[in-house]
C-alpha cells in the first residue's frame, strides 16, 4: 500500500506542462461518472425542495381548474 502511494505521489509531482496540455477525447467512463453525479445532484435537489414543488403544482392545478367552467 505504501509503495502504491509513493508511486502515485512520484507521478503526480513529476507532471510536466506537456502532460497537462494533452487534448484527448473523454471516454465513456468519464461521461458515466458525470451523468451519475448529475443524477445524484438533481435527486438531492428534488428531495430537498419536494414540499415547495408539491405546493407549486397544487397552485397550478387549482388555477387550471378555475379556468375550465
Position 26 pLDDT exceeds 80? no
- Give the closest residue to 45 by CA, choosing from 33, 56, 37: 37
Contact 53, 46 (CB under 8 A): yes
Position 47 pLDDT exceeds 60? yes
Average pLDDT of the residues in 15-24? 61
Contact 61, 68 (CB under 8 A): no
**What is the average pLDDT score of the chain?**
82
Quote the cell numbers at residue 14. 513529476
| Per-residue confidence (pLDDT) for residue 4, from 0 to 100 | 76
Q: pTM of the full predicted structure? A: 0.48
Average pLDDT of the residues in 5-34? 71
With pLDDT > 70 as the criterion, what percentage of the chain qualifies? 68
Query: Please, what is the angle between helix 28-48 and helix 50-67, to 10°?
Result: 70
Amino acid at each position: 500500500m505504501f509503495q502504491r502511494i509513493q508511486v502515485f505521489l512520484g507521478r503526480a509531482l513529476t507532471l510536466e506542462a506537456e502532460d497537462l496540455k494533452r487534448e484527448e477525447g473523454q471516454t465513456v467512463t468519464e461521461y458515466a461518472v458525470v451523468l451519475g453525479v448529475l443524477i445524484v445532484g438533481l435527486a438531492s435537489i428534488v428531495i430537498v425542495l419536494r414540499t415547495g414543488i408539491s405546493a407549486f403544482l397544487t397552485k397550478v392545478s387549482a388555477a387550471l381548474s378555475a379556468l375550465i367552467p
